[in-house]
Structure 1
Amino acid sequence: MASIDRKIQRAAAVKQTKKTRAENNTATKKKVRAAPSPKESDEQLSPAVEARLSEIVARVVSLHRKSTSQIFELGECLAEAKSVQPEKRFGRWLKDNCGYSVRSAWNFISVHERLADHRERHEKHAIPSTALIELAKAEPDQIEDVIKLYDEGKSLKPSEIKALVGGKKDEAEELTDLRQLGGRTGLQKMAAAKLKSSTAEFHRLIAAVLVGLDEAVARHESGKRIVMNALAADVEINARHASDLFKDAVAPLVPVERMPKANLQHEQFGLKTGWGAVQHSLYRLGGVGSWPVRDDMEKWVIEIARPALRFAVHGEPYVVCADAATSPVVEVAKTDSDVTKNEQIAAEKEVKADETIPAISDDQQDATLGSLVAAGKTATEARISQ
């Protein structure tokens, strides 16, 4: 009986020992994790670097980002601070000394590094920080295009710059030739790639068109007339290309009514919807030759076209104006209808031409062809003999 008790006690002791050992191991691991380990951010900097960083901190604190010049100087200071200390130390240095997040610092550094070549032009136009940050994300040719708009006197909002420059290509994007991917997956990837590029280009174009419309409306609000030739030069080509991209990207192809053999045509969205107004406005703006008279065109630009494009670029609600459904809208709708009718007539003529029976028989055609060949041969022989 005593031996059994000893066995029970021994087993309990072993169990307690294992439990205590596990608890001790857990506590040790926690202490190891909590103990400070040597880090790159804890490296000691030279006195010269410490002194320079102190100077940079003083300069950064004094910059209030009230001017374009200060934005560039801030980016320059942060870029230098980043370069003179270990990379992993930079984030903590920002937090302790400047109050900027790493992301914000990178934005200002990007402005300094990517827009330095055009700094004088940026300062001349007093471009704000948010617009500069968006512009710094663009490709070099896109940056030049946006600055040219400023040189022409245009004023762009950050959202407009973002729409103009679109998205940069991902350098890590696969180099697979999508044309070699078969099946449904291949088709879907090709369609997705096309939609992505078309959408970016569409937004770039309509943002440029909206800049022209905003300037025209601002001129009207200042008591001046809209100069139609200038407006046409600003918007026509971009609107025409944007109209094509819009139809190609989102407008479904539907059969032509009463013409089952004709090619499919893009569906026209209703004019009382936001995107229908966008489709309608781009189509009209892209055809200067069919613009209505000045007064009607001014009213149409102010009440329909500009609100529609602000809906497309900025996401502002599009409200149908009761007075807008007057002559300009009716005329545009009539023009669109006439174009469709003309296309239908042309298609019907082509179908009829294909089904027309020749006016002469096959034997008559062969005889005529033979006589023409013989005549040509005789004329050639005559020239040779001469």
Structure 2
Amino acid sequence: MTKKTNEAASGRFDYDALNIGAQSKKALEATAAGILALGRRSTEQAFELGDLLEQASELVEPGTFEKWVSQRCDISSKTARNYRSVARNLAPYRTRAVELAVSPTVLFHLASAPEEKIEAALAHAEEHEGIRVSEVKALLADGADPSSKEVTSTELADIGGLSGLRALIDLKTKSGVAAFVESASALAKTVDDTLESKPQGKRLQKAALVPVLEPLARAAKRSLGNVLLLDAPGDVDVRKLSESELPANSRWYKVFSTLDKLGKREAWPEAKELEIWLSQSVLPLLDWATSRTKQPEWPLEVAVASNSPDKVMRSGLEALGGVVRVDAPSLDLSEDEDETLEDYVPPAMFTRRGGASETTGSNVLSFGSTESLPGLRKPKALTRKPAEASAD
């Protein structure tokens, strides 16, 4: 949210009507700014949001807090309670949860669970490289190890007909989407942290970034390929995709090809262009691809329009000192029919010197004489204006 939008949201909430003093208002506004600045909801940000909401709840009455968080921060009361529960009840497990990248939705379920269930869920996440919402629900429902419920997916593979096939595809899609969001979010956070930690005035060092970003990009690309291309196992060469699989002018193709490029160090731009590429292309695309908004705005339309061939050529010419426009003389004989060549004297540099003997038998036209060329009209641009009569 921009500063202007933030101020507008602040103006819509009437602090005076709820008897909130100036000091509390100032603290609440600072908290609201911190909440709205969080952006993506990673595991760490889920805890940070819960902490901020806990701080805000201590500044106002319970009923007033629900109104404030809903109107000022655009967060429902239920969602606010969930994040506050995560901050209060899962604080001892914060480090482990962040390292395992446990999703906020899973944290919501674990926030009200007993200690042994939380430990069991985190142990499952460590063993299976993550835990899904369905698994944590199964764990909390009857105490069984969530991995024991995976027999359902095994049985699903034996169900015939189109319904069984669709169920398998749905299962693959859900797990694939979750894997892509997790890997793409981790990549986005790494890029974001890299840009923020870069010393002012220094270039990014490709040698240091390659071993960090390259494997994350490859993992995100594989996950996206598994979702978009169900019949393409393993890694996919973006250059071999057909139009029926993924149109080359589509936005998801742009995301896929960007991840493909980021996963190949030889395809990276030069060091002087690396920061611009990461900040203005890679990061916006990752945000767009992992956005939970129903129809997120495409982030690269303005950049593409500004780099049109015409503008690129014009900017290049301007960099060389500007564009000088030269209008060619008109060759339309219908214009200026009254003008003649009688008073026209060509520049000296275009006039041949010498007598008629030089032109005899020659295929070179003398610029000094036009009498032998009936019907020839001089261009308007080369017409000399008649000299004005002197008053003397």
Q: What TM-score do the two structures reach when normalised by structure 2?
A: 0.42
